[in-house]
Amino acid sequence: MEKSRCGWVNEDPLYQQYHDEEWGVPVHDDQKLFEMLILEGAQAGLSWYTVLKKREAYREAFDRFDPEKVAAYDDAKVAELLSNEGIIRNRLKVQSTITNAKAFLSVQKEFGSFDAYIWQFVGGAPLVHHRESLKDVPASTPQSDAMSKDLRKRGFKFVGTTICYAFMQATGMVNDHTVSCFRYNGDH
């Protein structure tokens, strides 16, 4: 019997696996949080599906999202990245990755971990919603507004409220699986 999934999932096994195993699962690993913040920013103006298909190329191009390595990138590395057909070759997005890595390291230093900082926007535990359908899922919330404002104040780029809310969904800060989805109750 076919599993009932959220309405945004297409038939691609890669997309289904992402939904079934990752989306909405609470993430507390700083490097994974950095990866998702960068990938959600890369999505701006595009679909998540486009970014997901390029995720492995991103991991390779950006040193597995090691923030210390990314923060040290120079102009030569930027030029190399802009010639990499495996990623989204947008200069502002590539440069924002370096800017965000530096800001990420500052947050880690201030709070002890990015995890400790970012989860404060939901009080340290996932917010569980009861969405009947895709149309009930907002593009942003007061929590994503606050996150976006604070991240921007700290120098992060490509962290508008809609990007922040998508990040919150992806990293399990909120549970936006629709109630008919087999993952709604956290089932795997």
Which positions are annotated as active-site residues? 18, 40, 48
What are the CA-CA distances from residue 128 to residues 14, 35, 131, 134 (Å)? 25, 23, 9, 15
Q: How far apart are CA 102 and CA 80, in angstroms?
A: 20
45 φ/ψ sector (left φ>0, alpha ψ -120 to 50, else beta) = left
What are the CA-CA distances from residue 41 to residues 100, 101, 157 (Å)? 10, 13, 8
Q: Bridge-partner residues for 175, per DSSP?
A: 128
Backbone Cα Rg of the chain? 16
Q: Bridge-partner residues for 174, per DSSP?
A: 127
3-state DSSP assignment of residue 127:
strand
